[in-house]
């Protein structure tokens, strides 16, 4: 059984542990990472237009529980199509992967020193490869977008 609406409004706000592109002004540091409340994310959905999209579409089949939650969000925010919600939520998850989920693995090469003069070692984990591949694919998408006739 769901709690009454009054109890929900008094509950502590849920917080996402990652920065959100769709809510750029709402990010702040808290403890171990960047956080934005889901309330603020929902507010941003009400107030801001979605970012430009690629011409390519991606078809997904959602688990029933996820589809129900998505439908609930779409009904709550009629200005946002389910596809927009999926895009923004996926974008937030991909940023989290890049920012915090992939492990840092220190290599042998010193690439800089910190404020105390301690060496900073290159990252030989999956993050640099992910970032380089992301840049490569972004360049390809940009090139396709520029070639597209208007």
- For residue 21, being part of any structural domain is answered with yes
pTM attached to this predicted model: 0.53
Reply yes or no on whether the pLDDT at 137 is more than 70.
Answer: yes
Task: Name the residue with tokens 């750029």.
Answer: 24
- What is the extent of the structural domain holding 117? 102-150
Reply yes or no on whether the pLDDT at 65 is more than 90.
Answer: yes
Q: What is the pLDDT of residues 80-114, one digit of tens each?
A: 889 889 988 998 888 888 888 888 889 999 999 99
Query: Mean pLDDT score of the chain, rounded to an integer?
Result: 75
**pLDDT at res. 79:** 85
**Buried residues in 109-146 as b, exposed as e (16+ CB within 10 A):** eeeeeeeeeeeeeebeeebeeeeeeeeeeeeeeeeeee
Reply yes or no on whether the pLDDT at 127 is more than 50.
Answer: yes
**pLDDT at res. 57:** 82
Instruction: Provide the total of helices (H) and of strands (E) in the chain, helices listed first.
Output: 5, 5
Higher-scoring residue by pLDDT: 6, 49: 49
Do residues 113 and 119 lie in contact, with contact meaning Cβ atoms separated by under 8 Å? yes
**Are both 95 and 145 inside the same structural domain?**
no
Instruction: Kindly state the average pLDDT of the residues 33-49.
Output: 65
Rounded to an integer, what distance in angstroms lies between the CA atom of residue 150 and that of residue 140?
Answer: 18
**pLDDT at res. 52:** 65
- For residue 34, being part of any structural domain is answered with yes
Reply yes or no on whether the pLDDT at 126 is more than 70.
Answer: yes
Do residues 102 and 127 lie in contact, with contact meaning Cβ atoms separated by under 8 Å? yes
Angle at the Cα of 102 from the Cα atoms of 26 and 117, rounded to 5 degrees: 85
**Are both 150 and 76 inside the same structural domain?**
no
**Are both 18 and 67 inside the same structural domain?**
yes
**Are both 49 and 38 inside the same structural domain?**
yes
Paired strand residues for 113: 119
High-pLDDT (> 70) share of the chain, %: 67
Domains: count for the chain? 2
Do residues 139 and 121 lie in contact, with contact meaning Cβ atoms separated by under 8 Å? no
């Amino acid at each position: 059984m769901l709690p009454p609406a009054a109890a929900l409004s008094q509950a502590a706000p849920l917080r996402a542990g990652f920065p959100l592109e769709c809510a750029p002004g709402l990010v702040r540091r808290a403890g171990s990472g960047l956080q934005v409340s889901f309330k603020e994310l929902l507010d941003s959905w009400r107030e801001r237009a979605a970012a430009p999209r690629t011409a390519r579409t991606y078809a997904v089949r959602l688990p029933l529980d996820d589809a129900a939650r998505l439908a609930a969000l779409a009904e709550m925010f009629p200005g946002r199509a389910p596809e927009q919600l999926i895009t923004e939520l996926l974008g937030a998850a991909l940023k989290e992967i890049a920012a915090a989920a992939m492990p840092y693995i220190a290599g042998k090469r010193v690439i800089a020193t910190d404020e105390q003069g301690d060496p900073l070692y290159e990252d030989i984990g999956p993050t640099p490869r992910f970032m380089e591949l992301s840049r490569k694919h972004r360049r390809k998408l940009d090139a396709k977008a520029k070639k597209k006739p208007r």
